[in-house]
Amino acid sequence: QSVLTQPPSVSAAPGQKVTISCSGSSSNIGKNYVSWYQQFPGKAPKLLIYDNNRRPSGIPDRFSGSKSGTSATLAITGLQAGDEAVYYCGTWDDSLNTGGVFGGGTEVIVL
């Protein structure tokens, strides 16, 4: 059971938009910045979004992040076949057993 909650999968046709939700609590998302990672099968994860909505160099602006209260959202517009991957949200949790926390991951399926 992950500390952050994500839907197992989302799907859309090429060119469409998908959004992935990440739900947390006041001790994690409610207090700290959120990051997002993209992982292809058999590969290491890659940083996609940090500080809620900032993109590292080289990440296309089709990927965007937002945060409101204790939830965060990753949006992918102009969906492409190459976007099929698993996406994870992450942040720091300030509760008793403090540490880094991730969501369970969301598989994006391009129809």
Partner 1 sequence: EMQVVESGGGLVQPGGSLTLSCTASGFTFGASWMSWVRQAPGKGLEWVANIQPEGHEKHYVESVKARWTLSRDNAENSLSLEMYDLRAEDTAVYYCVRCRNYFDSRGQKRFYFDYWGQGTLVTVSP
Residues in the site for partner 1, rule: CB under 8 A? 2, 31-33, 35, 37, 39, 44-47, 50-51, 56, 88, 90-92, 94, 97-105
Q: Print the SS3 string covering 8-24.
A: CEEEECCCCCEEEEEEC
Residue 76 dihedral angles phi and psi, to the nearest 5°: -125, 115
Residue closest to 11 by CA, chosen among 90, 102, 83: 83
Measured from the CB atom, the residue of 17 and 84 that comes closer to partner 1 is: 84
Measured from the CB atom, the residue of 23 and 92 that comes closer to partner 1 is: 92
Measured from the CB atom, the residue of 39 and 77 that comes closer to partner 1 is: 39
